[in-house]
A = this chain, B = another copy of it.
Amino acid sequence: MNIFRTDRDYALDLDSQDELAHFRGRFVFAEPDLIYLLGNSLGRLPEDTVDHLQSVIEEEWGRRLIRSWNDGWFDLPERVGSKMASLLGARADEVIMADSTSVNLFKTAMAALQLRPNRRKIVTDDLNFPSDHYILQGACRLAGPAYQLQVVPSPDGLNGSPEGLAEVIDENTALVTLSHTLFKSGYVYDMATITDLAHRAGALMLWDVSHSVGAMPLDLDGCEVDLAVGCSYKYVNGGPGGPAFIYARRDHHDTLSNLVSGWMGQKNPFEFSLGYEPTPGMRRFLTGTPPILSLAAVEAGIDLILEAGIDKVRKKSVRQTEYLIALWENLLAPIGFRLKTPRQPERRGSHITIGHDEGLRIDRYLVEHMQVLTDFRPPDNIRLGIAPLYNSFADINTAITRMRSVVEDGLYLDYKLQTMVVT
C-alpha cells in the first residue's frame, strides 16, 4: 500500500477494489453490525451450507434413510478429503476426513513411531497448540518408558525457533511435529525448510495446519511432508467441531498403520470378518462411522473456498493483515498496544495478535459491549482473525478504532472478568 490513511473512507475504498468482496454476501449475517474477527476460531455459516444441510437432513436422512450410505455417505470421507486436498497442495487420494484433529494427531503420531521403531524421540515446540502437546504426551506414555517428547522453547514466546529445532533434531528423532501457523502469535513456519531439517536427520515430519488451511495455499506434496492433520471449522467454515482431516504422502500409504483400527478402515467392512485387514490408501485411517451431518457441512465450506480460489484468498489476507498492522502502528502502538505477529508477510498467517497489559479486560469489553468479537490468549494477547471471504477492510477499521477508544476512553477499567473463550 503506497498511500495509507486511517479513516473509514479509505477502508471503503479498499473494499470497493476487492475482487472477493461479493463473497461476503454468501454468508449468513444475522447481526449485520457485528464485527466478527474469529474466523480463525469458528468460521461463519455459508448460505449454501444451510441449503446443503437441509437436503442432507430431510432428503438423505429423512427420505433415503439407510440407502444414503450407498448413495454417497460411505465415500464422503474420501470425497470431502479430495476437495480438502486442493487446499493442501496434495493429491486427491492423499487426504481423508476423520474424527477430530487431536484424535488424528494421535493416530498419525503412533503410525510415525511404528515407521521409525529404533528412534525414541518426538520433537515439538512450546508454541504448538496445547492439545497437540497432550496428545503427544499420551502417545509417548503409550509407546513406552523409553519415549520422550522434547519441547523446543520459543526465543520470545511468539516466534518459532528453526535454530532451536535444528539443534535437537537428531538420529534418535522419530518424528518432528509442529503447528504450521502458531495459534497464539500467527507466526508461520517455513514448511519446506523445517520438513527438510527433519528429513536430513531421518525423522518424519507431521504438520498441524489447523490455523493455516483455508487461509493460504499449502504445498504438502511440494515440501515432501510425510503427514499432516488439521481442522475444518476455522477458515474452512465447516461448522462447529466439524470433522478434521489426515494427509499422508502417497509413498507412505502402504506402510502406515492405524492402531485405532476400526471397521471403516477395514478392507471389506461388509464381509464382517473378525481379522483386521487395512483397506489400501488413506481410508485405513478411518475408525468408526463418521458423523455425516457435520461432515456434510464441511463439504459446503470447502466448495466456497474453491470457488473463490485459495490464491486470491491468501492475497487478500496478506493485504488485510498489512492494513491491520498499519492501523495498529498509527492508532494503537502509541497507546500501549504491542504487535505480536511477524511483520514479514511470509511468516504470518491470517490472524494478528496484539498485546496489551490489560489485554483480557480490553478483549472482554470489545466482545460484550462494542460488537467486536475477538478472543484472548494468555498472557496478554488479543487475537484478531481475518477471514478474507467475509471480512471487509471496513470491519478491520471499525475494530481497531473501537480498540483504540476502549483504551483511550478508559472503558475497560471497571470491567470485571468472568467468561470463558473457546478457539
Assuming the A-B contacts A101-B288, A103-B287, are A295 and B420 also in contact, with contact meaning beta carbons closer than 8 angstroms in the complex? Answer: no
Contact call B137/A106, Cβ cutoff below 8 A: no
Contact call A131/B420, Cβ cutoff below 8 A: no
Chain B residues lying within 8 Å of A66, measured Cβ to Cβ, are 38, 41-42, 373, 375, 421-422
Comparing A28-36, A322-330, A342-350, A351-359, the segment that makes contact with chain B is A28-36
Contact call B263/A102, Cβ cutoff below 8 A: yes
Q: Which residues of A contact B (CB under 8 A)?
A: 28, 30-31, 34, 36, 38, 41-42, 44-45, 49-50, 53-54, 57-63, 65-70, 73-74, 99-103, 106, 110, 126, 129-131, 133-135, 137-138, 141-142, 151, 184, 231, 233, 239-244, 258-266, 269-276, 287-295, 297, 373, 375, 377-378, 419-422
Least Cβ–Cβ distance between A148 and chain B, in angstroms:
15
Contact call B134/A266, Cβ cutoff below 8 A: yes
Chain B residues lying within 8 Å of A274, measured Cβ to Cβ, are 126, 130, 133, 151
Output the nearest chain B residue to A368 by Cβ-Cβ distance. Answer: B67
Q: Give CA–CA (A67, B291) in the complex, Å.
A: 23
Quick one: copies of this chain in the complex? Answer: 2
Which of these, B31, B130, B293, B378, contacts A240 with CB under 8 Å? B293
Contact call A420/B70, Cβ cutoff below 8 A: yes
Chain B residues lying within 8 Å of A275, measured Cβ to Cβ, are 133, 137
Contact call A291/B242, Cβ cutoff below 8 A: yes
Contact call A62/B74, Cβ cutoff below 8 A: no
Q: Give CA–CA (A368, B44) in the complex, Å.
A: 41
Chain B residues lying within 8 Å of A28, measured Cβ to Cβ, are 58, 62-63
Least Cβ–Cβ distance between A75 and chain B, in angstroms:
11
Chain B residues lying within 8 Å of A34, measured Cβ to Cβ, are 65
Contact call A261/B62, Cβ cutoff below 8 A: no
Which of these, B74, B260, B294, contacts A292 with CB under 8 Å? B294
Chain B residues lying within 8 Å of A31, measured Cβ to Cβ, are 63
Q: Closest 9 interchain pairs by CB?
A: A100-B288, A131-B263, A291-B294, A102-B262, A30-B63, A102-B288, A240-B292, A69-B422, A134-B276
Chain B residues lying within 8 Å of A272, measured Cβ to Cβ, are 130, 184, 377-378
Least Cβ–Cβ distance between A99 and chain B, in angstroms:
7
Chain B residues lying within 8 Å of A41, measured Cβ to Cβ, are 66
Least Cβ–Cβ distance between A361 and chain B, in angstroms:
16
Assuming the A-B contacts A38-B66, A100-B287, A260-B106, are A73 and B240 also in contact, with contact meaning beta carbons closer than 8 angstroms in the complex? Answer: yes
